[in-house]
Copies of this chain bind each other. A is one copy, B any other.
Amino acid sequence: MNPHFQPVAPEHASRLVNHGPTVLVTSAHQGRRNVMAAAWSMPVEFTPPRIAVVIDKKTFTRELVSASGAFALCIPGAALADLTYAVGNCSGRDIDKFARYGIEARPGPALGMPLVEAGCVAWLECRLLPEPHTEEAYDTSFGEVLAAAADSRVFANGRWSFRDDNPLLHTLHHLGAGHFVVASQTIRARPL
């Protein structure tokens, strides 16, 4: 466990993924588990907090999520760029990626999904909202967030705080082919 993690209120959960970070999708069923990277996710509802995520139908993750009806999104910090790219480029059918890459995970409070806190800055544990048509036609799965937490050094009171003194906790946004942009410089809009 990461002692800096604090629960995130349901009404603030969408903020965790509002800015489009690349996430790790974790899953487990009957003793098997997996972790993959996903650049394609978004919130779809504030209350109850719901999200959509693209999980290709050929992946092992999809198999586990369909079987368990649950998954988690763990948000890697900049420190995990290499790992995020690595777990996005091999299949959990062949290896246990947690063991292969030395990824520590603990079972989530709501659904027992594997939660990664070392190097990650937040997680959202989700119940699958079965939608057979969009899962088939668009590889798009919907989920309702039942529990969420974030590293209080970078997310507190419903707000991200990317600063010069917490660079390894800034989120990653995959541009493609292993290139990421890091969420660092923040600006505030002025009223027009």
Q: How far is the CA of A182 from the CA of B78 in the complex (A)?
A: 15
Is A93 located at the chain interface by the 8 A CB criterion? Answer: no
Identical copies in the complex: 2
Is A186 located at the chain interface by the 8 A CB criterion? Answer: yes
Q: Cβ of A86: which chain B residues have Cβ within 8 Å of it?
A: 189, 191-192
B19 touches A39 (CB 8 A): yes
Is A109 located at the chain interface by the 8 A CB criterion? Answer: no
Quick one: CB contact mask for A9-53 with B, threshold 8 Å, 1 for yes?
000000100111110000000000000000111111100001010
> What residues make up the interface of A, taking CB atoms closer than 8 Å to B?
15, 18-22, 39-45, 50, 52, 54, 78, 81-86, 101, 131, 133-134, 138-140, 142, 158-160, 162, 173-192
